[in-house]
Amino acid sequence: MLVELGLVEQRYKAVSEVFDGATVVDVARRNRVSRQTVHDWLRHYASHGMAGLADKSSKPVSCPHQMPAVVEARVVELRRAHPGFGPRSIANQLRRDGLDPLPGRTSIYRALVRHGLIDPTPRRRRRSDYKRWERSRAMELWQMDVVGRIELSDGTELSAVTGIDDHSRFCVIAKLVRRATARPVCDALAEGLRRHGIPDQILTDNGKVFTGRFGKGPGPVLFDRICHDNGIWHLLTAPYSPTTTGKVERLHKTMRREFFSLNTFATIEAAQTALDHWVDTYNCERDHQSLGDRPPIERFRLARATAELEVIEVGEPTPTDEPTPPRVTRRVAANGCISLGAHRYLAGRWLAGEVVEVVAGGGLVEIHHRGVLIATHAHRHSAATAAPVARAPRARAPRPATIGSPVRIDPQGC
């Protein structure tokens, strides 16, 4: 007859066998456990009797790293006040509030899951599966698009013409329009150009307001003509490839979640005023994850500093014993060199395409970039050309629109 013994009874029987003279090795072999386990049973029985043979919880008595209740309440409050805030945004806000020590993002995520404020759905794709690319400097490329299904309180549907700088994620265009036809879209583009300057390139999809690539018209559309007249290289995505303009698409998602889904306006003017305020916050205050939790303005302002160095006039020499060396600007070539007095001087490949300031005097050629001395060389030009001639960098020739490759079009539409 088989009798089923409980867990504590089995361990007590093993302990009793050892007390009766059996070796620990034989008892461990019969119970299919290790010798160390049998010794643990003997020690627990000697200390606590039969109660020591029962299983105990592995939960620690205390956890020094557990989030304090006050901090957890603050995390929940921030999430409910700002439904678009994730663990990273909440951590940044707690840091700005001066909280110390600061909980980790994983701790914040688990607190939100405990309160039912985040769905703990696993990621469908690993982060390593995503491939990111960006331009090397601000004002090199803008991404533009149109987003619709924006409603006023009376049900009127609007669209938003948006643009974002590829390098800095700075929102350069955010214009509400009643209909996203050619003229309103181009007016929004012109307004962005007047406010922030002219980029080297603009990337759009193949919408009819952006290109006549798939249309039956005789020539380029108005958007292409504006780009051509301003020397902007217009790039188009491949058909059915929305991820190519992923940065402006991500701006649309953020804009819907943090602005349009939380606010309703009676008129387009009121909506535009509130949107302008939100864009200012997005550009200058809101931390951006892809920028190392810094606002986009910190990257975009570097483009303005570069633009100020495009043309620098040489002033009159000061009435001192040693006249101030003349300062000129040069654009760094692809090989990292500049040309001065028919000679080449190395500035660095990492500055290719950038404008640098050159000071020649006292037998030295000093190269500065944004006020920082980056290279010093002994001058190699002759005495006749020792003083460099100040000249502005050559203006870029206007470039027509392209469809992904540098194919020129006739401005007259022929």
The series of mean pLDDT values per 10 residues for the chain, 414 residues long, is 66 89 91 91 88 81 79 91 86 87 88 86 64 80 91 91 92 92 91 89 90 76 87 87 87 90 89 92 86 84 52 35 66 86 82 85 82 79 49 48 43 43
Return d(Cα 401, Cα 361) in angstroms, integer. Answer: 44
Structure tokens at 192: 């962005």
Distance (Å) of CA 407 to CA 16, 200, 326: 92, 16, 42
Return d(Cα 133, Cα 256) in angstroms, integer. Answer: 24
Burial class (CB in 10 A: 0-12, 13-18, 19+), 363: exposed
Cβ(317)–Cβ(333) under 8 Å? no
Looking at residue 25, its pLDDT comes to 92
Looking at residue 117, its pLDDT comes to 87
Structure tokens at 130: 């995503």
By C-alpha distance, which of 322, 383, 350 is closest to 367? Answer: 350
Looking at residue 401, its pLDDT comes to 45
Looking at residue 36, its pLDDT comes to 93
Looking at residue 158, its pLDDT comes to 92
Cβ(111)–Cβ(72) under 8 Å? yes
Looking at residue 165, its pLDDT comes to 92
Return d(Cα 324, Cα 316) in angstroms, integer. Answer: 9
- Within 168-245, where are the H helices? 182-196, 222-229
Return d(Cα 294, Cα 287) in angstroms, integer. Answer: 5
Give the strand pairing for 327-331 and 355-361.
Answer: antiparallel
Looking at residue 386, its pLDDT comes to 45
pTM beyond 0.75: no
Looking at residue 162, its pLDDT comes to 94
Burial class (CB in 10 A: 0-12, 13-18, 19+), 270: middle
